[in-house]
């Protein structure tokens, strides 16, 4: 680890506490000047410090910069020790992690970014991923499972996100089948799981579960095309370490569900959080949009709907989008 990474680990481990330059220098066996330079560099990256002469530096509690050290301090044992790589900006955490996966990266590798320049959504859409107000992460998985079971990765992730944002914000989070997380009827998170299969066995080689969370609306608001449907976990930038907390909460809960994926322990909660069951919806299929009532979600996470003409259909993900 570099001096900068070492001191960040100490500061993150004890936010608000002062460390003197001399103390840090002797702990790491480097000069005070090296410590000073590392603190300046962290400040340039957006970390907020308080400096008091005679006491040293303290990382402010409200500093809200994503870092591996900042995420790890919130992770409990169930998450294992994931290899977390953090980027200020990246094309797409999914795209880059898929490249790493095909070069042999290990299960549990996590890429986290503060901004994406080519964020991807479902059905070849773009995912708006501005810097500073969102959290974009992808987790690499190498499960032994068939293609049709991969949907459970996405649904487990949706429950992990809903639980986490609810814990951190105190606001109720719902899930819109199949993979959108909503607060106050606005989409605050989208999930895109991309997978590579072995054609002969039909088994997954790897899956990359990508999760994008709007922490708050971007300055100037969301773009025109999504402004009516998109929202943030918070209405405005929050004074606190929320991005690291949310990232850690999602990783931890997701890895817990993933460890027991065949048991689908999250399924009941997935259904309970559904915002569409029992509601009038519009099914956007390959043909023209059709009005329907959402009846139920079955154990395979498929949605049964009844159309206005009385016919019923069970939909699997990928075929449709739904407008509430």
If binding is defined by CB under 6 A, does position 136 make contact with ligand BTN?
yes
Q: Is 169 in the site for ligand BTN (CB under 6 A)?
A: no
The answer to whether the beta carbons of residues 50 and 70 sit under 8 Å apart is no
Place of tokens 């997380």: 181
DSSP code per residue over 60-79: -TT-----HHHHHTT--GGG
Binding letters toward ligand BTN, positions 199-218, x by CB under 6 A: -----------xxx------
50: its two tokens = 């308080």
Q: CB-wise, 123 or 236, nearer to ligand BTN?
A: 123
Which 3 state secondary structure label does DSSP give 107? coil
* Residues making up the chain, counted from first to last: 324
CB closer to ligand BTN, 9 vs 122: 122
Least distance between ligand BTN and beta carbon 13 (Å)? 27
Spatial CB neighbours of 29, under 8 Å, sequence gap ≥ 6 = none
Determine the size of the site formed for ligand BTN (CB under 6 A).
19
Task: From 223, 192, 44, select the one nearest 130 (Cα to Cα).
Answer: 223
Site for ligand BTN (CB under 6 A): which residue of 69, 93, 109, 164?
A: 93
According to the binding rule CB under 6 A, does residue 85 interact with ligand BTN? no
- Shortest reach from residue 152's CB to ligand BTN, in Å: 17
Give the residue with the Cβ less far from ligand BTN, 137 or 150: 137
Beta bridge partners of 303: 297, 315
Task: Please tell me whether residue 266 binds ligand BTN under the rule CB under 6 A.
Answer: no
Instruction: By CB under 6 A, name the one of 42, 79, 191, 275 that touches ligand BTN.
Output: 191
Task: Compute CA distances 132 → 29, 63, 224, 228, whole Å.
Answer: 34, 12, 19, 21
Q: What are the CA-CA distances from residue 294 to residues 109, 306, 320 (Å)?
A: 37, 7, 13
Judged by beta carbon, residue 209 or residue 292, the one nearer ligand BTN is 209
CA 150/CA 3 separation, integer angstroms: 41
Strand stretches in 123-163, DSSP E: 134-141
Residue 120 sits in the site that holds ligand BTN (CB under 6 A): yes
- Taking contact as CB under 6 A, which single stretch among the options 90-98, 221-229, 270-278, 312-320 is the one that binds ligand BTN? 90-98
Q: Which is nearer to ligand BTN, 7 or 191 (CB)?
A: 191
Provide the binding-site residues for ligand BTN, judged by CB under 6 A: 92-94, 116, 119-122, 125, 127, 136-138, 190-192, 210-212
């Amino acid at each position: 680890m570099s001096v900068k990474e070492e001191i960040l680990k100490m500061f993150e481990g004890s936010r608000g506490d002062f460390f003197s330059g001399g103390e840090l220098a002797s702990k790491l066996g480097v000069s005070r000047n090296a410590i000073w330079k590392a603190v300046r560099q962290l400040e340039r990256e957006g970390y907020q410090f308080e400096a008091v002469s005679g006491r040293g530096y303290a990382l402010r509690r409200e500093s809200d910069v994503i870092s591996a050290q900042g995420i790890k301090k919130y992770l409990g044992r169930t998450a294992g020790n994931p290899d977390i790589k953090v980027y200020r900006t990246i094309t797409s955490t999914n795209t880059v992690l898929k490249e790493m996966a095909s070069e042999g990266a290990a299960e549990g590798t996590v890429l986290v970014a503060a901004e994406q320049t080519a964020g991807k959504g479902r059905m070849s859409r773009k995912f708006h991923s501005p810097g500073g107000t969102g959290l974009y992460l992808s987790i690499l998985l190498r499960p032994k499972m068939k293609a049709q079971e991969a949907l459970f990765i996405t649904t487990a992730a949706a429950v992990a996100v809903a639980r986490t944002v609810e814990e951190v914000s105190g606001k109720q989070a719902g899930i819109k089948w199949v993979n959108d997380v909503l607060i106050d009827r606005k989409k605050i998170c989208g999930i895109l799981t991309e997978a590579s299969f072995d054609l002969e066995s039909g088994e997954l080689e790897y899956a990359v579960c990508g999760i994008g969370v709007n922490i708050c609306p971007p300055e100037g608001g969301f773009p025109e095309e999504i402004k009516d449907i998109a929202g943030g976990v918070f209405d405005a930038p929050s004074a606190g370490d929320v991005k690291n907390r949310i990232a850690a909460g999602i990783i931890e809960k997701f890895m817990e569900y993933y460890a027991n994926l065949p048991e689908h322990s999250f399924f009941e909660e997935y259904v309970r959080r559904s915002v569409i069951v029992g509601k009038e919806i519009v099914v956007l299929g390959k043909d023209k949009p059709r009005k329907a009532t959402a009846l139920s979600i079955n154990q395979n996470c498929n949605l049964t709907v009844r159309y206005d003409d009385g016919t019923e259909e069970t939909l699997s993900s990928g075929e449709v989008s739904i407008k509430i």
